[in-house]
Chain A
């Protein structure tokens, strides 16, 4: 029965000015019920003022097996960081 009950990922924004953050998941028949369930399960103590629910099946994730080739190339590009460049102290803060 619950095998047919779709899974939704829940994201909550703690307050205006912050991004929605993943908090967990709920099972629900449709988006409206998923929002209701997410409210009951994840916001009993003022955890947020906005909820997103997204069908879990709609998320495409990067493959952890390929994490090295996906993310390692950034490590040797030190010229992307401000400290790579030498500016004389006399110039002041930049």
Chain B
């Protein structure tokens, strides 16, 4: 579902010039890099961090929506939401598998999420207060994620690109089910429409922040672009998202909570686009650094799930071991 502009990538690398040039040549020729290929340490580190953050975002992203499964208004909505949350779990697992090919263990990634060392998309540190939030998340949050993720299907690292292709195929259902929830609310009673507007008001700015800091403040983006881990800059993707989403909000009859939002014919090389007002980056960093409304809840929920599932993992391993030793004994007889 939900990736976000990478936080704190460190693309520094110490290989010699010949090696780096040869590697860059492969990248420039659009060759995919596979796990066992020689690669600069900075490339490996950046990818582990990015794929890890992405995987954690999928897993933590199950929580705000999971909150509404038992309270979905109809059986149809409940079935769809369950399927969506299950997809997010699946996406997290594809991505963990892709990250593991780079030599990081699942245990280490899990540990770093639980200790707060690893980041995940800041959008999940906002609470889901009403059913309309489920609509807004599908429409805006999955919508923003799709903008981010489609170019990742062409990422230079093979396993990540392959995982993203699977994810993008499944993602389109997520956004459409969200928009349909919004549409149903907007065609309902005035109170229902008000709920939809309230959800848009709360999720619009956090959705824009999902693309990460402005290009001028995004120190490591350039190296990621050069290595073709990233294909478009944070600001380019954000602009695409705004241009696609504003007409969708108009169709719903909702207003985007940005008084400065206006059509600017100069934008997008003269093709025109929506210019947005200033984004509150202090809020963004506050949430990234742990002070969002839900940061503690999210990590606690993950930790609890992990700890309470420990006996299942232990039992499964003990059972496997017993089967193995029985088979070995039989073979020896």
Contact = CB atoms under 8 A, between A and B. Distances in A.
A1 to B, nearest CB: 6
A41 B107 contact: no
B38 interface: yes
A33 interface: yes
A74 interface: no
A26 B97 contact: yes
Contacts of B107: 1-3
Interface in A1-45: 1-5, 7, 23-30, 33, 40-42, 44-45
A26 B36 CA distance: 19
Interface of A: 1-5, 7, 23-30, 33, 40-42, 44-45, 61, 63-65
A24 B97 CA distance: 7
B97 A1 contact: no
Contacts of A2: 105-107, 110, 313
Nearest to A45: B170
A93 B38 CA distance: 46
A59 B114 CA distance: 32
Contacts of B106: 2, 5, 27
A11 to B, nearest CB: 13
Interface stretch (B65-73, B235-243, B276-284, B315-323): B315-323
B90 A44 contact: yes
Interface of B: 34, 36-38, 83, 86-87, 90, 93-94, 97-98, 100, 105-107, 110, 162-163, 166, 170, 310, 313-314, 316-317, 319-320, 323
B319 to A, nearest CB: 7
A4 B320 CA distance: 12
A30 B323 contact: yes
Contact of A63 (B36, B163, B166, B314): B36
B100 A30 contact: no
Contacts of B170: 44-45
A42 B36 CA distance: 23
A45 B201 CA distance: 34
Contacts of B98: 24
A70 to B, nearest CB: 13
Contacts of A25: 97, 100
9 contacts: A1-B313, A23-B166, A24-B162, A25-B97, A40-B90, A42-B90, A45-B170, A61-B36, A64-B34
A26 B93 contact: yes
A44 B98 CA distance: 19
